Amino acid sequence: MIEASVVIATYKRPKETAYCLKLLGESQFLGDKFTLEVIVIDSSPDNLTKKAIESLREKFNLNYIKLRQKTLPGEARNIAIKKAQ
């Protein structure tokens, strides 16, 4: 089975982040031919993204990382990649 990591860096986009996870969850061979480790790295000043994706945790090996301050997407992705399995 193929194991892949997906990094989603987000800032004030809870609906879009949840929609992205929903689409990943609808992948045709998820759980059959491949598994996903999903890392959502959020530098939003609120917890709306965490709340928006909470119901999608069971579909993935989901790791949610909350940053304390606004971070550029490239830097956020690099932080998440270091945490990937």
pTM reported for the whole predicted model: 0.88
Asked if residue 17 lies in contact with residue 52, where contact means CB atoms within 8 angstroms, the answer is yes
- pLDDT at position 4 is 92
* pLDDT tens digits in sequence order for the chain, 85 residues long: 899 999 999 999 999 999 999 999 899 998 889 989 999 999 999 999 999 999 888 777 899 999 998 888 889 999 999 999 8
| Nearest to 4, CA basis, from 30, 26, 43 | 30
Furthest C-alpha separation in the chain: 38
- pLDDT at position 74 is 87
- pLDDT at position 46 is 94
Rounded CA separation 39/35 (Å): 13
| Nearest to 45, CA basis, from 73, 77, 10 | 10
